[in-house]
Structure 1
Amino acid sequence: MPTQGELFNGCTVALVTPFKGDDEVDLDALGGLVDWHVEQGTHAISPVGTTGESPTLSHEEHERVIETVVQRAAGRARVMAGTGSNATSEAVRLTKFAQRAGADGALLVAPYYNRPSQEGLYAHYARISEASDLPLVLYNVPGRTARNIEPATVERLSRVARIVAIKEASGSLDQVSEIRMRTDLTILSGDDSLTLPMLAVGAGGVVSVAANLVPRQVMAMIAAFEQGDLEGARRRHLELFPLCRDLLSIAANPIPVKAAMGLLGRIDGRMRLPLCPPDEAGLMTLRSSLRRHGLLGD
């Protein structure tokens, strides 16, 4: 049996939130995405994170997305629900809801915009851990939150009950190495292009944007590494790298991945303001990348 920290080893997809009509969440399309990921063998699903456009969802929509994903997954894939907020009380409320809905864990982005101190970050996560029995995954993405969860703070938090893992998206392998040195937390890559290097220094998997498009290829790279096939893992990493690069470079996540899914006909592809579709140059780059990867015909 895996430990709680190992529940999300491997590939967890950072799931998009589809919309329809007049900016309405498309729950039918959302359920279809869950079914598709189960068919693909996706190990775990993480709804309503950054890729799921959580900042523009109402509280009711946020809860309905979590509930829909849990119910549709029906134990066929684990669910790591995004429940973070820059208000501790809101993160507590969402995490409690995710537990009642039947999620397997909660992903908690560091409080954004208000830039708490390291002590404030510690107190924020400690308060959430007191309020829920769910396994909790810290999410460090300083490029969006304007605050890094320092390794010393991660070490303190590793001793807090129910905190079992960290999604690390600082872009620093040194930071990943220091967290691995200081703690036994499961480390999950938050950057697709850095997954293989992070595995090499002790990460256990990835919360992947690219897996919205190519989950089997992401899983195959991780499996090759775990089986000691380093050359195979490197080859798969280099095959994935151009797609991962394009999903990051054209515009802010999740604009490129939603546009790509729209081009492939998997979802409508629309997004909520203030996000808007890529310009024509960006779309041309995406089309080229998808064709090169064998996902889109001429």
Structure 2
Amino acid sequence: MTHATNTGTARPSAAPFGRALCAMVTPFTEGGALDLDGARRLAERLVAGGCDGLVLSGTTGESPTTTDAEKAELVRAVRAAVGERVSLVAGVGTADTRHTVELALAAEEAGADGALVVSPYYSRPPQDALEAHFREVADGCGLPVMLYDIPGRTGTRIEPETMIRLSEHPRIVAVKDCSYDLLGAQKVLARTGLAFYAGCDEQILALYAVGATGYVSTVANVVPEHLRAVIDAFDAGDTVRAARLQRDATELIESMTASGLPGTVTAKALLNALHLPAGPVRAPLREAGREALADLRAAHERLTRR
């Protein structure tokens, strides 16, 4: 089922968590504690900038170094700040199926609208075990599940055929795609009703143009309005403008996600430079150096001056 924009551009009607999602950083105080006030302020800014969904405690949110209690506190604080205006998707994926279910239940209790579940890392389960893991998590909680396919970090791909089988589960509704496999993505789009979200900022328009629902963006931490404008232009039928806006963001996307530093580090560096809530990263991550920060600021300034 689809609906059309004023210009006749058809989009899938199902957007379970919105279209423009930010993979929000987790603000910390200078002493390294969870900064809940900063999280509330940052969330409000992102929503004002066009985000209709926020992903908390994902890769960019430093989930490996936050405690279970901090993850739940973060959901509660952000929900209090944004109310029901936007969807909150909580990162709950771990290398342990039982622990993942526990985190999903805690996120549900804290007020999350969905669970982002990454492939178990390090143990590298085969596809049948991977499928069983996702089914057990989906069976173990009441939240709709977004699969998170990022083999470059987990060491394990969620193969398209596995996604197709998992799409039959009533609570597995979406995919955050960081596979860099456009062919595989299109196979899943063609054969399932899964809501597909681009997880790599450089692929937002490419995947959206072939039927993806939207994006989950790290770069949106600093330029939420610009990335929202990409899909808004496409929806309005102005594909030339959409392509230009995507290309205009290339330098900043590369600086933030392909410069050799994790997106968490670059996003927090820029947010701090802009006097927005972020704070330090937690070890083993380290702050961006002076030269990297200068490059990030220059790329950001060039984009925002356009």
Q: Provide TM-score, normalisation by structure 2.
A: 0.92
The worse-fitting range, judged by mean Cα deviation, of 150-159 and 14-23 is 14-23
Per the alignment, do residues 26 and 249 of structure 1 end up closer, same or farther by CA in structure 2, a change over 3 Å counting?
same
1:260 partnered with 2:289: no
Match of 2:239 in 1: 230
Q: Tell me which of 281, 285, 294 is aligned to 2:291.
A: 281
Aligned-residue Cα RMSD (Å) equals: 1.8
- Alpha-carbon distance between aligned partners in 1 of 2:241 and 2:13, rounded to the nearest angstrom: 29
Aligned runs of 1:1-298 on 2, under 5 Å? 5-250=14-259, 251-294=261-304
Query: What is the CA-CA distance between 1:214 and the residue it aligns to?
Result: 1.1
Query: What is the CA-CA distance between 1:172 and the residue it aligns to?
Result: 1.6
Q: Secondary structure at the match of 1:25?
A: coil
The worse-fitting range, judged by mean Cα deviation, of 185-194 and 21-30 is 21-30
Contact 2:18 / 2:86 at 8 angstroms: preserved in 1?
A: no
What is the one-letter code of the residue matched to 2:217?
Answer: S
What is the one-letter code of the residue matched to 1:242?
Answer: E
The worse-fitting range, judged by mean Cα deviation, of 13-22 and 277-286 is 277-286
Q: 1:128-175 CA distances to partner (integer Å, 9 max, x unpaired)?
A: 111112111000000100000000000110001200010010112112
Contact 1:84 / 1:109 at 8 angstroms: preserved in 2?
A: yes
Per the alignment, do residues 23 and 269 of structure 1 end up closer, same or farther by CA in structure 2, a change over 3 Å counting?
closer
Per the alignment, do residues 5 and 131 of structure 1 end up closer, same or farther by CA in structure 2, a change over 3 Å counting?
farther
Contact 1:9 / 1:188 at 8 angstroms: preserved in 2?
A: no
- Alpha-carbon distance between aligned partners in 2 of 1:226 and 1:266, rounded to the nearest angstrom: 30
Query: What is the CA-CA distance between 1:268 and the residue it aligns to?
Result: 4.6
Query: What is the CA-CA distance between 1:5 and the residue it aligns to?
Result: 4.8
Q: Secondary structure at the match of 1:123?
A: helix
Query: What is the CA-CA distance between 1:29 and the residue it aligns to?
Result: 0.4
- Alpha-carbon distance between aligned partners in 2 of 1:182 and 1:61, rounded to the nearest angstrom: 38
- Alpha-carbon distance between aligned partners in 2 of 1:79 and 1:122, rounded to the nearest angstrom: 24
Aligned length: 295
- Alpha-carbon distance between aligned partners in 2 of 1:267 and 1:6, rounded to the nearest angstrom: 28
Query: What is the CA-CA distance between 1:203 and the residue it aligns to?
Result: 0.8
Gaps of 5+ in 1: none
- Alpha-carbon distance between aligned partners in 2 of 1:289 and 1:54, rounded to the nearest angstrom: 27
What is the one-letter code of the residue matched to 1:256?
Answer: T
Identity of aligned residues (%): 36
Gaps of 5+ in 2: 3-11
